[in-house]
Structure 1
Amino acid sequence: MTTLEVAGTYNLRDAGAVAGTPGVLYRSAALDGLEPAGVRRLGDLGVGTVLDLRDASERPLPETDPSWTVEWVPLYDPDTGPPTHGDITDVYRDLLDRRGRQMAAAVAAVARATAPVLVHCTAGKDRTGLVVALALTAAGVPDDAVVDDYARSGPLVRPRREGTARELLAAQDLTVDQHRSSLELHLDSPASALHTALAHVRDRYGSVRHYLLHHGASAADLARLDERLSPRDDLTLLHVSDIHGSSDAGSSETSGRIDRLAQVVDHVLGSTFAPDALIVTGDLVHEGDVAAYRPVADALEHAARRLACPVLTVPGNHDDPALLRSVLAPPRVLRVGGFRLVGIDSSSGRVHDDELAWLRAELATPYGRGTILALHHPPIPSVAASLAGRGLLNADALTDAVRGSDVVAVLAGHYHHPMSGHLAGVPVWVGGSLAYLQDVRTGPDAVVGLDAPSYSLVRAGSTGVTFLPMSPTDEKVLFRTSPSATAIAT
């Protein structure tokens, strides 16, 4: 990676390029000495947010340049300031353990920035190195690439700061070993230090993403981080529907299925799939009361934390939309992996005019790789005779809103059986239910529910959108072999 020359600072490079997304995340030493040419150069790079990781005592002058917005997230404890000596591995571990909330806040600031962001501390080596490493690693960049970027700082910092560091350490009563390790702390960026720091995070929290969530970053922050730093071929959505939760788990055969959401999460975490978002298309509860929503909200929050992804929920006909919004506060729009996910309220059986107007306004501006809509009532008829006329009552109005837009898929629920279709040429997927499977073989006068819950995995990418129905229950294994052996056998 090429070091960028900017008048008045040093150790500046494009960290976003490490993730394959150049021009979104830069890192450098302090900007206090920026010359006018340096200000212009950062402006040419599009820098709109500067994230300063120093405390007030380290900033000799207030930031006055109007070219960008400055956010301060001091990483070292302001009462103690930066360490004057110590072992670099111990200093990193202490920062990660004691200043976790500040670390998470810094990464969240990177995620939330709407323009290219530049992260810096004093030399752009330690604090900046950790924050950038956490952001890149959380976004899925391989450790080797992250560590290689980090290790580039030492050779750029040492010529600038060696004299100052030696003078500082000479005034302290240190052993030879302490002096050597403290010089490394001030001047070097050994790959082993960052490898050890990342291993420490994973040993304690399981992953970098879970470390950030534990210390206050939100799943939406991680989704935004992915959006900025994770170029990918495919978006993966976990789609569940019709949970029909109840405050009384034993109230009926169709309610009390909140536990199945945890089963779904277990099932997904035991696979090779890593959902970018969890979509819930309605009927979260069987009867819309506050007591029923609270355990569902807790279950969804737990699922989001385990999956480390954001959640989009829409109300169904069994839901009370106002209660759902008050308890869960769901977003109407998520932007994940280059796609826009839009939730629509069809709880009354139709999409009302004000909702359609809002949708048209949202779709008026195309987004990234396209838009995926989520609503409860399918805009296509069911194949089950007993569900005739139970789909979206004004599907034509939704068709008009979608036609000619960037919508690439529509996700729905309600029917309690999976099926697919099209709306104005756009693929429609009706997910199964976590409560029961509707038997589609019966006549118009009978409704038969089968104990066969299901969820879906949705993949969207350059080759289109695919839908995969899944069962969270354990199935009998018939055989286990290698793909090559199976290919030969078939």
Structure 2
Amino acid sequence: MPVVSTGSTATAASTGSAPGDGGAPQARRVLSLPGTINLRDVGGYPTVHGRSLRWRTLLRSGTLRGLDGRGQAILAQIGLRTVIDLREDTEVAHDPDQLGRLAATHRRVPVYTLPVDRHQTAGDLRSLYDHVVDHRGDRLTAAMLALATPGALPAIVHCSAGKDRTGLVIALALDLAGVPAEVIAQDFALTSYFLRDEAAAAVQRISALMSTDGEELPASLMASPPDLILHALDRIHARHGDTRTYLLAHGATAHALDRLVEALLVPAEASDAGPDCGPPTAG
């Protein structure tokens, strides 16, 4: 499976270690497919229950607008079944996913309502995340239920840059599965390493769509600090007790959430050797 091997991100990938990987290079989880940005695997992360997430089961990404035939073939080899697109209609119209003949279900679950008013976000990411957590819980839950659909995995969850909307949905999935908060935060922060110039441009495009007055939004919206996702999870936990209860309050069922967790985790009696052990079966 290809990994990041060129550009400034290669240095970070080859010298750092991904959280929960026991010192394995970050490059193990980053998939460098032509025409994709910030595409990576959340497999291998440990849980507080002593199990770990399956490799090649849940992927996160930015736009798939440039995915070519080679990339489509690799995703087909993984066994990709679902693409969950969190973008708005205007984004999709401008940059449609290029799935070609890839036999995967494309699910649209828009999270924002664009443009987002400045008074809702105060021009900063924490306010934006608060707004999404408080007022878009049904959308976040819809994305989780799409993952929980029987046969949905392996799946890719993506938005424009694979940073904010994707970061929230992935954080909910990891938290639901029992991944420790500090590992979730480190996974979220990996975007800072792998956000290439094209991904930065994607964030700028969505920022322009978010603005109601034509003004450029703050550069701080480009960041992915670990405390940002911890704040969002803390907000959910403070108001609902835990992520599971939050999702149940917004339309999920206990059966669907249990099914998703079991599909994401390596069976208790088995071990997952890593991303090169072949396509996983889940869902």
Which residue in the other structure is 1:146 paired with? 184
Which residue in the other structure is 1:209 paired with? 244
TM-score (norm 2): 0.72
Within the candidate set 91, 103, 109, 2:146 is matched to 109
Q: Distance in 1 between matches of 2:204 and 2:144?
A: 32
Q: Distance in 2 between matches of 1:229 and 1:62?
A: 25
1:71 aligns with 2:120: no
Superposition deviation, residue 62 in structure 1: 6.8
Superposition deviation, residue 229 in structure 1: 2.0
Gaps of at least 5 residues in structure 1 are: 235-367, 369-490
Q: Distance in 2 between matches of 1:66 and 1:140?
A: 35
More helix by share: 2
Contact 2:147 2:155 (C-alpha < 8 Å) held by counterparts: yes
Identity of aligned residues (%): 36
Superposition deviation, residue 226 in structure 1: 1.5
| Residue deviations 1:421-442 (CA, integer Å, cap 9, x gap) | xxxxxxxxxxxxxxxxxxxxxx
| Residue deviations 1:330-374 (CA, integer Å, cap 9, x gap) | xxxxxxxxxxxxxxxxxxxxxxxxxxxxxxxxxxxxxx9xxxxxx
Superposition deviation, residue 184 in structure 1: 2.2
Superposition deviation, residue 53 in structure 1: 0.4
- Which consecutive aligned stretches of 4+ in structure 1 deviate over 4 angstroms post-superposition? 81-85, 161-169, 171-174
TM-score (norm 1): 0.43
Superposition deviation, residue 155 in structure 1: 2.6
Superposition deviation, residue 65 in structure 1: 2.7
Which residue in the other structure is 1:29 paired with? 62
Q: 1:164 to 1:214 in 2, by over 3 A?
A: closer
Within the candidate set 83, 87, 101, 1:54 is matched to 87
Q: 1:113 to 1:14 in 2, by over 3 A?
A: farther
**How well do the aligned residues superpose, as a CA RMSD in angstroms?**
2.8
Size of the alignment, in residue pairs?
227
1:155 aligns with 2:206: no
> What amino acid does structure 1 have at the position aligned with 2:236?
V
Secondary structure of the residue aligned to 1:7 is coil
Q: 1:232 to 1:163 in 2, by over 3 A?
A: closer
Larger deviation, residues 59-68 vs 96-105: 59-68
Superposition deviation, residue 21 in structure 1: 1.0
Contact 2:64 2:98 (C-alpha < 8 Å) held by counterparts: no
Q: 1:40 to 1:27 in 2, by over 3 A?
A: same
Secondary structure of the residue aligned to 1:17 is coil
Which residue in the other structure is 1:371 paired with? none
Q: 1:29 to 1:64 in 2, by over 3 A?
A: closer
1:15 aligns with 2:53: no
Contact 1:138 1:208 (C-alpha < 8 Å) held by counterparts: yes
Q: 1:162 to 1:102 in 2, by over 3 A?
A: closer
More strand by share: 1
Q: Distance in 1 between matches of 2:252 and 2:75?
A: 28
Superposition deviation, residue 32 in structure 1: 1.3
Which residue in the other structure is 1:221 paired with? 256
Secondary structure of the residue aligned to 2:55 is coil
Higher-Rg structure is 1
1:122 aligns with 2:160: yes
Q: 1:92 to 1:184 in 2, by over 3 A?
A: same
Secondary structure of the residue aligned to 1:9 is coil
> What amino acid does structure 2 have at the position aligned with 1:36?
G
Gaps of at least 5 residues in structure 2 are: 1-25, 46-51, 270-281
Secondary structure of the residue aligned to 1:224 is helix
Superposition deviation, residue 48 in structure 1: 1.1
Within the candidate set 181, 188, 202, 2:223 is matched to 188
Superposition deviation, residue 97 in structure 1: 0.8
| Residue deviations 1:62-83 (CA, integer Å, cap 9, x gap) | 7663411100100012x53698
Q: Distance in 1 between matches of 2:124 and 2:180?
A: 26
| Residue deviations 1:66-110 (CA, integer Å, cap 9, x gap) | 411100100012x53698982111111100110101111101111
Superposition deviation, residue 231 in structure 1: 3.6
Q: Distance in 2 between matches of 1:15 and 1:86?
A: 29
